[in-house]
Amino acid sequence: MKLDMLVLSAHPDDAELACSGTILRHIEMGKKVGLVDLTRGQLGTRGTPEIRDKEAEAASNILGLAARENLAFEDGFFTEDKEHLIAIVKAIRKYQPEIIITNALHDRHPDHGRASDLVSRASFLSGLIKIETGQKAWRARNVYHYIQDRYIKPDLIVDVTPYWEQKIKTIKAFQSQFFNPGSEEPGTYISSPEFLLFIEARALEFGHSIGVKYGEGFTSERNIGITNMFDLL
């Protein structure tokens, strides 16, 4: 299946937190969007990999993804070696996306920056014909990095105001991870009610900076070109 946009994320729920509004907007525009999670979140304090698999499926249904899969890398310990790079190259060549979105360049969780580097390198390698995987070589036109816990100045911001309530539903599909007053599992940084307020505050900040209510920010690996200045907000 050829996709227009492929999101590759270190953990199930990374994309829902950071760029699900952007995903929803582009799906409504008729674009095919898929998601590849690198790990099953095996080291998460709350829940289990099996529970998170089911939660990811529920979130995918809300988003309306064309495809979602999990590469089952070892959470916390995957490295930038040939084995992991080739696995991502195969995923990119499988879906042939025009745009790739991945983790923040650096962040509170070390997996995020490591996944960011891994996907960036694999995106380049995927275009080299002498790397043989039994697939056609493919290089996406652009690679963007969403912004997560640590603030990074965005290169572009997507207006996600019309999709905010649906974005929150995708996040809350991961019931084991986020605020749930009925849960008896240990409290974590992301399970407090304040964490979801932080997510909203960040979106309000980004939205305010472009004159809308809610925004999602991204950094770009190259300069951003346009053909029509009137397309800008």
Q: Give mean pLDDT, residues 162-181.
A: 96
pLDDT in the model for residue 181 = 87
Q: Give mean pLDDT, residues 13-29.
A: 98
User: Which DSSP string do the residues of the chain spell out, in sequence order?
Assistant: ---SEEEEESSTTHHHHHHHHHHHHHHHTT--EEEEEEE--TT-SSS-HHHHHHHHHHHHHHHT-SEEEEEEE-TTT--SSHHHHHHHHHHHHHH--SEEEE--SS-SSHHHHHHHHHHHHHHHHTT-TTS-SSS-----SEEEEE--SS----SEEEE-GGGHHHHHHHHHT-TTTS--TT--SPP-TTTSHHHHHHHHHHHHHHHHHTTSS-EEEEEESS----S-GGG--
pLDDT in tens, 30-81: 999 999 999 999 999 999 999 999 999 999 999 999 999 999 999 999 999 9
Statement: the pTM of the whole predicted model exceeds 0.85: yes
pLDDT in tens, 184-233: 899 999 999 999 999 999 999 999 999 999 999 999 999 999 999 998 98
